[in-house]
Amino acid sequence: MVTNIIWQNQYSLPELIFRRFRLAIYRAVALVAIILALLLFIIFVLVAAAPFIEEARWTVFFPPEPGAKLFWLSVILAGYAWYRLDREHAWYPALSSSAGEISVEKHLSEEVWRVLEKSYAYANRMQHPAVEPLHLLAASLSFVTGQRVFSRLGVDSAKLSATLRHGLSKLIPSPIPGLSTETINVLKKATELSLVRKSRHVEMSEVLVAISSGESIVTEVLEELEIKPEALDNVTAWYSLRRKLVNLRSRQGRSASFRPHRALDRTYSAVATPFLNRVAQDLTSLAARGYLMPCVGRSRETTEAYHIIEGGQSSVVLVGEPGIGRGSILEGIAQDMAAEEVPAVLQDKHLLLLSTAQLLSGANPAEAGERLLRVLNEAVHAGNIILAIKDIHQIIGLDAGSGQDLSLGDVLASAVSNHQLIIITTTTNASWREMVERSSLGQILQRVEIKELDDNSSIQVLESRVPGIEMQHHVYFSYGALAQAVTLAKRYLPDRYLPEKAISLLEEVAIYARERTGKDGMITAEHVAQVLANKVHVPVTQITAAESQKLLNLEQILHERIIGQDEAVKLVSQALRRARVNLRDQKRPVSSFLFLGPTGVGKTELAKV
């Protein structure tokens, strides 16, 4: 556990510049050493291959061994290049939460160092003795992360520059030269956040979040830009997730190169599984090659499943509504298995997803039972297979064709009850209650409840899915579009569940926006609102000038068909205006009216209008 996060040195601008040039020189020397090593080795090969050419003898240091020194010189240069690159890597050690003390400087990314250098330049230009967090914020806009974060937030670049200039003009810096106490605290907070996010280094995205939670002048700037702290946190987490995915897939790819494919484990003791390979998909191999989408916001559910299996139970059922992410959890487990970040009982194993459609296609009950038994036998004898079955209720009640009144669920329950095989299944809440819970298999399965994600977790799921949608449709989503998709889908699509309904909505929005904005256009919250308004026939977009005028004159419009009844017309108009601008409890009706009066005074007509 980390006990202390410290900042050790005060740096000046010349020291930061010298540091950058020193690193550039080291890299250049290493690159030159690599090129020379390759060149000398090529010359050695040519000379060694043609010793009879007397003209080539000038390259030979000690005849009669052509190129001997060239060979050893190339080896020395290659070794030096390796040493220099290794030393550079040592300059950026990975963060570890197990360290007793962390020195912030040792874990800053190269981009953060460049931002610090730029911050000093800004402070010197404005004749500020100390570098404040606002200088860091302004300097970040000169680099990739800052530009991308504020672009995703949908902030206008001109307004951003003007607001920062105004904020810097009001800034009262510390009189002590160097990094101010507030700036050092920001870097410490960024280090803490990097540990929470399990980042390898302190990146600029974490520094931006730390800046936003600091001094009041920065808070004022962000408020003027209409940037909420949680929005900035989510957008920076978006980029942290993308970095983590790149590193994860790279690490899994390296690990996968040492793993045997299909049904063989590292001991090569497993048997072949030809039939199982035909009716099942190896999720672990797909995860190792980086083909699966990340599982976001489901650490509680996966941990609970691991505890059940680790505790000696050999079966788990993930119970939740369609679209809630049950399949994503299976893929997340496969990714953990590929990275060997699972309990020992699951390590060095493959998670195979059984296709019930392929298993049962064209089969009568007897054939279906035989196929399932064959699948189970191959999985058990392989010894390193975890079987995953989506929608287990589809096979619970199917006849096994054995003549003994057995269902396919009973056959599966027999294999699981003997602890011969570990299975992870999914089903819906309704199917669990109606079909699975009271079956023989349901008595064995350990239930893990999958609840709908909250808004913030749903946004994070969208952040992991959006890159694929952007690449497919050549569009660019703002963070506001993602947040709007979650908000509106939750409110206006009650028959479906997050995050699936928000993902589907974004796919529709991408097609809609591409037709109107063209290639690489920015998708905003208004595009999302327009698509949903067309979909559910409810006005959820921003109020236009014409609609605003109509709302202001609503009483007059109603009086065109209603004579008198001023009080009733006024109350109805006020309720409609409140509903249009969302000034009401979203869990309650727009308003409830009981029109009382004798026949013919306009009660029904007012309701119609």
* 98 within some domain: no
CB 59: neighbour CB atoms within 10 A? 15
pLDDT attached to residue 267: 33
| Helix ranges (DSSP H) in 402-492 | 408-417, 429-431, 455-473, 479-492
Residue 8: band (very low, low, confident or very high) from pLDDT cuts 50, 70, 90: confident
Residue 523: give its domain's CATH number. Answer: 1.10.8.60
* Average pLDDT for 107-128: 86
pLDDT attached to residue 393: 85
The alpha carbon dihedral of 319, 321, 327, 332 has a sign of negative
pLDDT attached to residue 382: 81
Higher-pLDDT residue of 608, 69? 608
* 74 and 38 Cβ atoms separated by less than 8 Å: yes
pLDDT tens by residue, 188-235: 888 888 888 877 888 888 888 888 887 678 888 888 888 888 888 888
Instruction: List the domain range (segments joined by +) for residue 78.
Output: 10-91
Say how far apart CA 80 and CA 34 lie, in whole Å: 9
194 and 180 housed in the same domain: yes
Say how far apart CA 387 and CA 380 lie, in whole Å: 10
Partners of 476 in the β-ladder: 522
435 and 460 housed in the same domain: no
* Average pLDDT for 90-118: 76
* Average pLDDT for 417-422: 78
Contacts of 229 (CB under 8 A, 6+ apart): 212, 213, 222
CB 496: neighbour CB atoms within 10 A? 16
pLDDT attached to residue 181: 85
pLDDT attached to residue 576: 64
Residue 553: band (very low, low, confident or very high) from pLDDT cuts 50, 70, 90: low
* 382 within some domain: yes
pLDDT tens by residue, 331-358: 989 988 888 888 888 888 889 998 888 8
333 and 394 housed in the same domain: yes
110 and 220 housed in the same domain: yes
Say how far apart CA 280 and CA 288 lie, in whole Å: 17
Q: What Rg do the C-alpha atoms of the chain give, in angstroms?
A: 32
DSSP line for 554-588: HHHHHHTT--S-HHHHHHHHHHHHHHHTT-S-TTS
Q: Give yes or no for residue 36 having a pLDDT over 60.
A: yes
Contacts of 14 (CB under 8 A, 6+ apart): none
* 608 and 595 Cβ atoms separated by less than 8 Å: no
* 541 within some domain: no
Lowest mean pLDDT among 24-33, 278-287, 290-299, 510-519: 24-33
pLDDT tens by residue, 224-258: 888 888 888 888 888 877 776 666 556 555 555 55
pLDDT attached to residue 60: 43
DSSP line for 292-319: SPP--S-HHHHHHHHHHHHTT--EEEEE
Q: Give yes or no for residue 66 having a pLDDT over 60.
A: no
pLDDT tens by residue, 163-173: 888 888 887 77
Element (H, E) at 350: strand 350-354
Say how far apart CA 280 and CA 262 lie, in whole Å: 11
pLDDT tens by residue, 554-581: 666 666 666 666 677 676 666 666 665 5
438 and 306 housed in the same domain: yes
Burial zone of 416 (CB within 10 Å; 0-12 exposed, 13-18 middle, 19+ buried): buried
- Torsions phi, psi of 475, nearest 5? -130, 175
Domain boundary among 431, 449, 467: 449
Q: What tokens were used for 560? A: 């065109």
pLDDT attached to residue 59: 46
pLDDT attached to residue 122: 85
321 and 416 housed in the same domain: yes
SS3 call for 440: coil
Residue of 388, 375, 394 lying closest to 439 (CA atoms): 394
Domain boundary among 91, 122, 146: 91
pLDDT tens by residue, 485-497: 998 888 888 888 8
178 and 326 housed in the same domain: no
Say how far apart CA 189 and CA 213 lie, in whole Å: 9
Contacts of 198 (CB under 8 A, 6+ apart): 244
Mean pLDDT of the chain: 76
Cα-Cα-Cα-Cα torsion 369, 374, 377, 383, nearest 10 degrees, comes to -130
* 249 within some domain: no
Lowest mean pLDDT among 91-105, 466-480, 549-563, 576-590: 576-590
pLDDT tens by residue, 320-332: 998 888 989 999 8
152 and 24 housed in the same domain: no
475 and 423 housed in the same domain: no
* 595 within some domain: yes
pLDDT attached to residue 437: 82
Residue 99: band (very low, low, confident or very high) from pLDDT cuts 50, 70, 90: low
Angle between helices 365-382 and 408-417 (to 10 degrees): 20
* Average pLDDT for 446-457: 89
399 and 440 housed in the same domain: yes
pLDDT attached to residue 182: 87
Is it true that the peptide bond before 598 is cis, omega within 30 degrees of 0?
no
The alpha carbon dihedral of 582, 583, 585, 588 has a sign of negative
* The total number of structural domains that make up the chain: 5
pLDDT attached to residue 318: 92
* 20 within some domain: yes
* 149 within some domain: yes
305 and 443 housed in the same domain: yes
DSSP line for 204-272: HHHHHHHHHTS-HHHHHHHHHTT--HHHHHHHHHHHHHHHHHHHHHHHHHHHHTTSPSTT--TT--PPP
Burial zone of 3 (CB within 10 Å; 0-12 exposed, 13-18 middle, 19+ buried): exposed
* 309 within some domain: yes
* Average pLDDT for 402-416: 69
Residue 319: band (very low, low, confident or very high) from pLDDT cuts 50, 70, 90: very high
334 and 417 housed in the same domain: yes
Residue 268: band (very low, low, confident or very high) from pLDDT cuts 50, 70, 90: very low
